[in-house]
Chains A and B, each alone.
Chain A
Amino acid sequence: MKTQINRRSALAKLGGVLAGVLILPVARQAKAVVQKVFVSSNAAKGYDPTGHKWLMCIDDNKCIGCGLCVEACKRENGVPEGPYFRTWIERYIIPKPKPGSDQTRGEALVDSPNGGMHGFPEPPLPKDQIEHAFFVPKLCNLCENPPCVQACPVGATFRAPDGAVLVDPKYCIGCAFCIQACPYGSRFLNPVTKTAEKCTLCYHRITRGLKPACVEICPAEARIFGDLKNLPPDDPLEKFYEKNRVQVLKQYLGTKPRVLYAGLDKEVR
Chain B
Amino acid sequence: MHRPLLPPQILRLVLLTLAIVGSYLVARAFLTPPTFYQYGWFRGAALEEIAARTPVFAGKQACDECHSDILQKLAKDAHKTLSCEACHGVSREHADNPDILPVKATGNYCLRCHEANPSRPAWFKQIVVKDHYSGKCTECHLPHQPNQTP
The chain A residues found within 8 Å of chain B, CB to CB, are 21, 24-25, 28-29, 31-32, 41-44, 47, 49-50, 61-68, 72, 75-77, 91-93, 119-120, 122-123, 127, 130, 133-135, 155-161, 166, 168-171, 200, 202-205, 207-208, 210-211, 213, 216-221
Contact of A158 with B119 in the complex, beta carbons under 8 Å: no
Closest CB in chain A relative to B91 CB, distance in Å? 12
Contact of B118 with A123 in the complex, beta carbons under 8 Å: yes
Return the contact of A28 from the options B29, B47, B90, B112 (Cβ within 8 A).
B29
Contact of A61 with B51 in the complex, beta carbons under 8 Å: no
Contact of A203 with B41 in the complex, beta carbons under 8 Å: no
Of the A-B pairs whose beta carbons lie under 8 Å apart in the complex, a sample of 19, sorted by A's number, is: A25-B32, A41-B49, A43-B49, A62-B121, A63-B121, A64-B121, A66-B112, A127-B118, A155-B41, A159-B40, A168-B46, A205-B55, A213-B56, A213-B57, A216-B57, A216-B85, A219-B82, A220-B81, A221-B81
How many angstroms from the CA of A128 to the CA of B32 in the assembled complex? 63
**B52 at interface by CB-CB < 8 Å:** yes
Q: Which residue of B lies closest to A126 (CB)?
A: B118
Contacts of B119 in A (CB 8 A): 65, 91-93, 120, 123, 133-135
Q: A64-B121, A76-B56 given as contacts; is B46 within 8 A of A219 (CB)?
A: no
Contacts of A205 in B (CB 8 A): 55, 57
Contact of A119 with B112 in the complex, beta carbons under 8 Å: yes
Contacts of B46 in A (CB 8 A): 158, 166, 168-171
Q: A204-B53, A210-B55, A216-B57 given as contacts; is B29 within 8 A of A25 (CB)?
A: yes
Interface members, chain B 10-60 (any A CB < 8 Å): 22, 25-26, 29-30, 32, 34-36, 39-43, 45-57, 59-60
Contacts of B5 in A (CB 8 A): none
**B133 at interface by CB-CB < 8 Å:** no
The chain B residues found within 8 Å of chain A, CB to CB, are 22, 25-26, 29-30, 32, 34-36, 39-43, 45-57, 59-60, 79, 81-83, 85-86, 90, 112-113, 115, 117-121, 124
Contacts of B35 in A (CB 8 A): 32
Contacts of B26 in A (CB 8 A): 21, 24
Closest CB in chain B relative to A171 CB, distance in Å? 6
Q: A21-B29, A68-B86, A168-B42 given as contacts; is B55 within 8 A of A76 (CB)?
A: yes
Return the contact of A44 from the options B42, B51, B79 (Cβ within 8 A).
B51
Contacts of B52 in A (CB 8 A): 41-43, 204
Q: A119-B112, A171-B43, A210-B59 given as contacts; is B86 within 8 A of A219 (CB)?
A: yes
How many angstroms from the CA of A141 to the CA of B25 in the assembled complex? 38
How many angstroms from the CA of A41 to the CA of B90 in the assembled complex? 24
Contact of B50 with A200 in the complex, beta carbons under 8 Å: yes
Q: Which residue of B lies closest to A160 (CB)?
A: B47
Contact of A47 with B51 in the complex, beta carbons under 8 Å: yes
Contacts of B85 in A (CB 8 A): 72, 216-217
Contacts of A169 in B (CB 8 A): 46, 49
Contacts of A92 in B (CB 8 A): 119
Contact of A24 with B55 in the complex, beta carbons under 8 Å: no
Closest CB in chain A relative to B122 CB, distance in Å? 10
Contact of B49 with A29 in the complex, beta carbons under 8 Å: no
